[in-house]
C-alpha cells in the first residue's frame, strides 16, 4: 500500500512487524523523498493493532539505522580464535569481503563438507527472528532440503503447548482477541500479556470497564499480574495439578455443562476418574495455594459466563508442560465456555493460517539430494548435544548420523537463547566446525562465526505474514532500500543455491513470486488456501490486512469448538487421547508429575531453589538487548537475581550483593535483589546477551537440555539452582 501522503515528499508504506510476538502489528512507515524511513506507527485501521506499537518497536528506527548494524559480508581474520569478543570490538576480528567472495567461499566449503562427511553433517539453525512466511522458512528450506542437510526440529518455543493443544482440539485456533470485550472473566494463565502480547490489553481493559474480572496465574508478579484483580501465585511447574484440582471441584459440585460434554467431547468418564484424585488438599500441597483460593477460583471460573483463558507459552516451558497445557485447555470444554462469545481459550491462532507450504518449502527436494531420502532430524533444543557429541543418537532419523561439521545460523541467536549454554559454546568453539551467521547485529552467536553475512530488517524486504495472536493475513512491503549490502534470507539462499550448482527453477523465484505461491493463487487471481478464498495479491496490497474468511462469516461471531466436529481422530474434543494410548509411552490423560528439577525432587536437596530465567519486557528474546534505548527502558525494572528475604537472609545475602548462582551445568554471577515478586523457594533472572552479562554468561548457562513431556521442547522454567554470596 504505497499510498502517497498529502505531502508528496513523503510516502507511507504498509509493512508488518515480523518479530516473534503474537500481535504481528500492521505498521505504517513514513519514508521521505531521500528514501529514508522517518516515522513508524501502528496501523490505525488494523482492528488488533489499533494504531499503536509496543515500546520496543516504537523506537524501531533506532535499530534499523543503528551504527552497530552489520552492513557488509565479513570473514574471520586468520589467527583470531572463536569465542566471545568484547562488546564493540567485533569489527577487529573480521575482515570485510565482497558478497561474491563470501558466497563462493561458503558454497565451496559446504560442498566439501557435504562430500567428505555426508550432507547431514550440515546443520541449519533458525527460529523466528522474522515471522514473515518467506523470511521464516522458504528459500532456505528449499536449499537445505536439496543439499540433504540435517532437518532441524524447531522446538525451542512452542512445541510442548502446541502438541498438547492439538491432542485436545486437533488445530490451534482460539477465541479472537476482539471478542475478549464480551468476557466477564479473563484468566491469563502463564502469559504476560502486558509485556509480551500488549495488543490484547485494550480488549481486556474494555471488558473490565464492562465489569469483567482479570485473574493472572503466574509464579512471578509481572506487569500483567500487578494490574490484575487477583494474582494467583502458583509454584512453577504445578499448573497441571491446579487445573485438575479445578476439574475436581467443578465435577464434585456439578458445575460442568453436561449437554456440551456429551455432544462435543471424548473420554469424559476417564477424565472424571482422574480428576477425582486431585483433591483441593493435595493440589494445595503442590501448588502452594490455599484450599480456599483453589475453591474460590474453581467456583468463579465455572460460574462466570463468558469466561476465557488466555494462555501463552509460559506454562509449557516446564517438564510437565505438555500435560499442564492439556489440562488447562480442557477446562472450557468441561464448562462449555466455547459456546459463548467472549468465552473459550486462546493459546495460539497459528493453525488458522494454511499457507501453501509444500510449494514454499519443497520438502520433495530431499529426494533429489545425494541422500535420496529425508535427512535425519536434529532437535534445536539439543544444540549443545548436537555440536559436542560425535556420531551420537540425534533426532528421529537414523541413530548414527555424522558429526556436525557446518552450522548455518539465521533468524536466531543460539549463543544466548539455547539451553545448556556451556555445551553450546563448547560446540561452537570447535576448530573443525564451519559456522556461517546471517545477522543484523554482532550477537553472542556471530562471535563464533567464520563468516558473518548482513541481513535486512523487515523494513528492507517484502514478505507476507499471518499471526499467532490474531486472524489477519498481512502484506509487508519493502519500505526502504537495504542498508549497506544487507540482503534478505530469500536472496541469500537463492544465490547460494546457484553457486552450489542447483538447477531447479524454484531457486530463481523472487520474493514477489513466492508471495503469490504462498497464497496459492488460482487462475482467477484468488487464493486457494482455506480461509483465504477472497484474497488476491492486489486486494492484499491495497488493504494491507484481510481477516480469514471463516472467522467472520455472515457477521456472526466466530465460536471455534462451539458445535460440530473437531479435527481430532475421534472428531471430538479429546479429554482422553486414543493416539497417546495407542503409542503406549505416554499418559492418555493429563496428570501432574513433579519435574525432575523442582522442590519436590531428589535434586532439590543439593539445589533447593527453583529458577525462572524469564523474558525481558523491553527486549524480544535477545533482540533489542544491544540498543541503549531499550536497555534504558528495561533498566527501570528489576535486573539481577530476584529472591525473597526468606531465601536471602539465611544465606547471608542482602540487596545489592553480588551472588553466585550455580548447578551442575555451570555458574553465573548477578546482583541480588530482594523482591516479593516471587514466592518463597523461587528465584528469577532475565534473558539478556551473554556478552552484556557479568562474566560473559547469561541465564542459559544454568538451564538444561532435559525435554518436555510432549513436543521434545526445552524446560527453561524447570531449573534448580543454589545461590551464595560471591
Ligand X SMILES: Nc1nc2c(c(=O)[nH]1)N[C@H]1C(S)=C(S)[C@@H](COP(=O)(O)OP(=O)(O)OC[C@H]3O[C@@H](n4cnc5c(=O)[nH]c(N)nc54)[C@H](O)[C@@H]3O)O[C@H]1N2
H or E element, residue 101: helix 99-117
Which has the closest alpha carbon to 306: 210, 242, 232, 224? 210
141 binds ligand X (CB under 6 A): no
Q: Which runs of consecutive H residues, i.e. helices, occur in 131-230?
A: 133-136, 139-147, 159-169, 193-196, 201-209, 223-226
Of residues 199-218, those binding ligand SF4 (CB under 6 A) = 199
Q: For ligand X, which stretch binds (CB under 6 A), given 266-274, 359-367, 426-434, 695-703? A: 695-703
Contact residues for 607 (Cβ-Cβ < 8 A; gap 6+): 597, 663, 720, 721, 722
Residue 234 interacting entry, from Mo ion, ligand X, ligand SF4, none, C-beta within 5 to 8 Å by type: ligand X
Contact 417, 700 (CB under 8 A): yes
Q: Between 190 and 588, name the residue whose CB sits nearer to ligand X.
A: 190
CB of 670 to ligand X, least distance (A): 13
Of residues 11-30, those binding ligand SF4 (CB under 6 A) = 17, 19, 21, 23-25
Q: Between 617 and 647, name the residue whose CB sits nearer to ligand SF4.
A: 617
* Distance from the Cα of residue 374 to its chain's centroid: 26
Helix (H, G, I), strand (E, B) or coil at 660: strand
Q: Between 63 and 673, name the residue whose CB sits nearer to ligand SF4.
A: 63
199 binds ligand X (CB under 6 A): no
> In angstroms, what CA-CA distances link 11 with 1, 7, 171, 602?
10, 8, 40, 63
CB of 7 to ligand SF4, least distance (A): 25
The count of residues in the chain is 726
703 binds ligand X (CB under 6 A): yes
140 binds ligand SF4 (CB under 6 A): no
Instruction: Tell me which residues touch Mo ion (CB under 5 A).
Output: 157
Which has the closest alpha carbon to 427: 468, 388, 378, 375? 388
Q: Between 421 and 536, name the residue whose CB sits nearer to ligand X.
A: 421
Of residues 45-64, those binding ligand SF4 (CB under 6 A) = 53-54, 56-57
Helix (H, G, I), strand (E, B) or coil at 83: coil
Residue 129 interacting entry, from Mo ion, ligand SF4, ligand X, none, C-beta within 5 to 8 Å by type: ligand X
Residue 284 interacting entry, from ligand X, Mo ion, ligand SF4, none, C-beta within 5 to 8 Å by type: none
CB of 280 to Mo ion, least distance (A): 33
Apex 130 CA angle, 618 and 170, nearest 5: 100
Q: Between 394 and 409, name the residue whose CB sits nearer to ligand X.
A: 409
245 binds ligand X (CB under 6 A): no
436 binds ligand X (CB under 6 A): no
60 binds ligand X (CB under 6 A): no
417 binds ligand X (CB under 6 A): yes
CB of 719 to ligand X, least distance (A): 9
Total site size for ligand X, rule CB under 6 A? 59
Q: Between 284 and 529, name the residue whose CB sits nearer to ligand X.
A: 284
CB of 313 to Mo ion, least distance (A): 6
Cell of 375: 535427512
Residue 412 interacting entry, from ligand SF4, Mo ion, ligand X, none, C-beta within 5 to 8 Å by type: ligand X
Q: Between 122 and 157, name the residue whose CB sits nearer to Mo ion.
A: 157
Contact residues for 689 (Cβ-Cβ < 8 A; gap 6+): 413, 416, 443, 444, 622, 625, 626, 698
Helix/strand/coil (H, E, C) string of 370-405?
CCCCCCCEEEHHHHHHHHHCCCCECCCCCCECCCCC
CB of 638 to ligand SF4, least distance (A): 21
CB of 246 to ligand X, least distance (A): 13
Helix/strand/coil (H, E, C) string of 222-251?
CHHHHCCCEEECCCCCCHHHHHHHHHHHHH
> In angstroms, what CA-CA distances link 512 with 37, 461, 518?
22, 10, 10
Q: What are phi and psi of 39, to 5 degrees?
A: -155, 145
130 binds ligand X (CB under 6 A): yes
DSSP string, 504-569: -GGGG--HHHHHHHHHTB-TTSBB-STT-TT-BHHHHHHHSEEE-GGGSGGG----TTSSS--SST
Helix/strand/coil (H, E, C) string of 39-79?
EEEECCCCCCCCCCCCHHHHCHHHHHCCCCCCCCCEEECCC
Strands 406-410, 122-126: parallel, antiparallel or unpaired by DSSP?
A: parallel
Q: Which of 60, 180, 220, 268 binds ligand X (CB under 6 A)?
A: 220
Q: Between 348 and 663, name the residue whose CB sits nearer to Mo ion.
A: 348
Q: Which of 139, 156, 212, 496 binds ligand X (CB under 6 A)?
A: 156
Quick note: the x/- pattern for ligand SF4 over 295-334, rule CB under 6 A, is: ----------------------------------------
CB of 63 to ligand X, least distance (A): 9
Q: Is 471 exposed, middle or buried (0-12, 13-18, 19+ CB in 10 A)?
A: buried
Contact 236, 717 (CB under 8 A): yes
Q: Between 531 and 595, name the residue whose CB sits nearer to ligand X.
A: 595
Q: Between 236 and 560, name the residue whose CB sits nearer to ligand X.
A: 236
Q: Burial letters for 531-559: b for 16+ Cβ neighbours within 10 Å, e otherwise?
A: bbeebbbeebeeebbbbbeebeeeeebbb
CB of 157 to ligand SF4, least distance (A): 15
Of residues 597-636, those binding ligand SF4 (CB under 6 A) = 620
Q: Between 287 and 577, name the residue whose CB sits nearer to ligand X.
A: 287
Residue 24 interacting entry, from ligand SF4, ligand X, Mo ion, none, C-beta within 5 to 8 Å by type: ligand SF4
Helix (H, G, I), strand (E, B) or coil at 586: coil
Q: For ligand X, which stretch binds (CB under 6 A), given 4-12, 408-416, 478-486, 500-508? A: 408-416
Contact 369, 410 (CB under 8 A): no
CB of 680 to ligand X, least distance (A): 16
Residue 57 interacting entry, from ligand SF4, Mo ion, ligand X, none, C-beta within 5 to 8 Å by type: ligand SF4
If you search the block for the grid coordinates 473490565, which residue do you land on?
208
Q: Which runs of consecutive H residues, i.e. helices, occur in 218-355?
A: 223-226, 239-252, 258-264, 268-276, 280-287, 291-303, 321-335
Count of beta carbons in the 10 Å neighbourhood of residue 363: 13
Q: Which of 443, 520, 529, 547 binds ligand X (CB under 6 A)?
A: 443
Q: Which of 151, 318, 421, 598 binds ligand X (CB under 6 A)?
A: 318
The CA distance from 238 to 322, in Å, is: 12
CB of 259 to ligand X, least distance (A): 30
Neighbouring-strand partners of residue 12: 3, 30
Q: Between 31 and 157, name the residue whose CB sits nearer to Mo ion.
A: 157
Q: Between 53 and 710, name the residue whose CB sits nearer to ligand SF4.
A: 53
Q: Between 468 and 607, name the residue whose CB sits nearer to ligand SF4.
A: 468
CB of 51 to ligand X, least distance (A): 19
The CA distance from 300 to 309, in Å, is: 13
Residue 615 interacting entry, from Mo ion, ligand SF4, ligand X, none, C-beta within 5 to 8 Å by type: ligand X
Q: Which of 361, 617, 647, 688 binds ligand X (CB under 6 A)?
A: 617
Contact 19, 12 (CB under 8 A): no
Q: What is the DSSP letter of 14?
A: E
The CA distance from 670 to 10, in Å, is: 47
Binding site for ligand SF4 (CB under 6 A): 17, 19, 21, 23-25, 53-54, 56-57, 198-199, 620
Tell me which residues touch ligand X (CB under 6 A): 20-21, 127-130, 135, 156-157, 189-192, 195-196, 217-220, 222, 234, 236-237, 239, 312-315, 318, 410-413, 417, 438-441, 443, 455-456, 489, 612-617, 619-623, 687, 699-700, 703, 716-717
Amino acid at each position: 500500500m504505497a499510498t502517497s501522503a498529502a505531502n508528496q515528499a513523503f510516502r507511507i508504506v504498509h509493512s508488518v512487524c515480523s518479530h516473534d510476538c503474537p500481535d504481528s502489528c500492521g505498521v505504517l512507515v513514513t519514508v521521505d523523498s531521500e528514501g529514508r524511513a522517518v516515522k513508524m506507527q501502528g496501523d490505525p485501521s488494523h482492528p488488533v493493532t489499533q494504531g499503536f506499537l509496543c515500546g520496543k518497536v516504537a523506537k524501531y528506527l533506532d535499530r534499523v539505522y543503528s551504527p552497530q548494524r552489520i552492513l557488509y559480508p565479513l570473514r574471520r581474520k586468520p589467527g583470531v580464535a572463536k569465542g566471545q569478543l568484547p562488546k564493540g570490538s567485533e569489527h577487529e576480528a573480521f575482515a570485510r569481503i565482497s558478497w561474491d567472495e563470501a558466497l563462493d567461499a561458503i558454497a565451496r566449503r559446504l560442498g566439501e563438507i557435504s562430500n567428505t562427511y555426508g550432507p547431514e553433517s550440515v546443520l541449519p539453525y533458525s527460529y523466528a527472528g522474522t515471522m514473515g512466511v518467506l523470511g521464516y522458512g522458504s528459500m532456505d528450506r528449499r536449499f537445505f532440503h536439496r543439499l540433504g542437510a540435517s532437518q532441524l526440529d524447531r522446538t525451542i518455543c512452542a512445541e510442548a503447548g502446541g502438541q498438547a493443544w492439538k491432542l485436545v482440539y486437533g488445530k490451534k485456533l482460539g477465541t479472537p482477541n476482539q471478542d475478549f470485550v464480551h468476557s466477564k472473566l479473563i484468566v491469563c494463565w502463564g502469559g504476560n500479556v502486558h509485556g509480551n502480547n500488549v495488543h490484547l490489553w485494550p480488549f481486556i481493559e474494555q471488558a473490565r470497564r464492562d465489569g469483567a474480572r482479570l485473574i493472572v496465574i503466574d509464579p512471578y508478579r509481572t506487569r500483567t499480574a500487578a494490574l490484575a484483580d487477583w494474582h494467583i501465585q502458583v509454584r512453577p511447574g504445578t499448573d497441571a495439578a491446579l487445573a485438575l484440582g479445578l476439574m475436581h471441584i467443578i465435577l464434585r459440585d456439578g458445575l460442568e455443562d453436561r449437554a456440551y460434554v456429551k455432544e462435543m467431547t471424548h473420554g469424559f468418564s476417564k477424565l472424571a476418574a482422574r480428576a477425582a484424585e486431585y483433591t483441593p488438599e493435595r493440589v494445595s500441597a503442590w501448588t502452594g495455594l490455599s484450599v480456599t483460593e483453589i475453591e474460590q477460583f474453581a467456583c468463579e471460573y465455572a460460574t462466570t459466563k463468558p469466561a476465557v483463558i488466555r494462555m501463552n507459552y509460559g506454562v509449557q516451558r516446564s517438564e510437565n508442560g505438555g500435560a499442564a497445557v492439556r489440562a488447562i485447555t480442557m477446562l472450557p470444554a468441561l464448562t462449555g465456555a466455547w459456546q459463548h462469545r467472549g468465552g473459550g481459550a486462546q493459546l495460539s491462532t497459528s493453525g488458522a493460517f494454511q499457507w501453501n507450504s509444500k510449494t514454499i518449502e519443497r520438502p520433495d527436494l530431499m529426494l533429489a539430494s545425494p541422500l535420496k531420502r529425508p535427512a535425519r532430524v536434529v532437535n534445536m533444543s539439543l544444540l549443545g548435544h548436537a555440536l559436542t557429541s560425535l556420531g551420537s543418537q540425534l533426532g528421529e532419523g537414523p541413530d548414527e548420523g555424522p558429526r556436525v561439521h557446518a552450522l548455518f545460523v539465521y533468524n536466531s541467536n543460539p549463543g544466548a537463547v539455547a539451553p545448556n549454554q556451556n555445551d553450546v559454546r563448547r560446540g561452537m568453539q570447535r576448530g573443525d566446525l564451519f559456522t556461517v551467521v546471517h545477522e543484523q547485529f554482532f550477537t553472542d552467536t556471530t562471535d563464533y562465526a567464520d563468516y558473518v553475512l548482513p541481513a535486512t530488517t523487515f523494513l528492507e524486504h517484502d514478505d507476507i505474514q499471518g499471526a499467532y495472536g490474531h486472524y489477519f493475513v498481512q502484506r509487508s512491503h519493502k519500505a526502504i532500500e537495504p542498508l549497506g549490502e544487507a540482503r534478505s534470507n530469500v536472496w541469500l539462499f537463492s544465490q547460494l543455491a546457484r553457486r552450489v550448482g542447483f538447477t531447479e527453477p524454484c531457486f530463481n523465484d523472487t520474493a514477489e513470486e513466492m508471495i503469490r505461491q504462498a497464497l496459492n493463487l488460482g487462475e482467477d487471481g484468488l487464493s486457494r488456501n482455506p480461509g483465504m478464498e477472497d484474497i488476491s495479491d492486489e486486494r492484499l496490497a491495497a488493504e494491507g490486512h484481510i481477516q480469514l474468511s471463516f472467522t467472520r462469516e455472515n457477521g456472526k461471531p466466530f465460536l471455534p469448538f462451539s458445535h460440530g466436529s473437531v479435527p481430532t481422530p475421534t472428531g471430538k474434543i479429546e479429554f482422553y487421547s486414543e493416539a497417546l494410548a495407542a503409542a503406549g509411552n505416554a499418559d492418555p490423560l493429563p496428570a501432574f508429575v513433579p519435574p525432575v528439577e523442582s522442590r519436590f525432587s531428589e535434586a532439590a536437596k543439593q539445589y533447593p531453589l527453583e529458577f525462572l530465567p524469564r523474558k525481558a519486557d523491553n527486549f524480544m528474546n535477545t533482540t533489542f538487548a544491544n540498543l541503549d534505548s531499550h536497555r534504558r527502558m528495561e533498566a527501570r525494572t528489576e535486573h539481577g537475581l530476584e529472591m525473597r528475604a526468606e531465601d536471602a537472609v539465611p544465606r547471608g545475602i542482602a540487596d545489592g550483593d553480588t551472588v553466585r548462582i550455580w548447578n551442575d551445568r555451570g555458574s553465573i554471577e548477578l546482583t541480588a535483589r530482594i523482591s516479593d515478586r516471587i514466592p518463597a523457594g523461587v528465584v528469577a533472572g532475565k534473558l539478556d546477551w551473554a556478552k552484556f552479562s557479568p562474566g560473559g554468561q547469561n541465564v542459559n548457562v544454568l538451564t538444561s537440555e532435559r525435554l518436555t513431556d510432549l513436543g521434545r521442547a526445552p524446560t527453561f522454567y524447570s531449573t534448580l539452582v543454589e545461590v551464595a554470596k560471591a
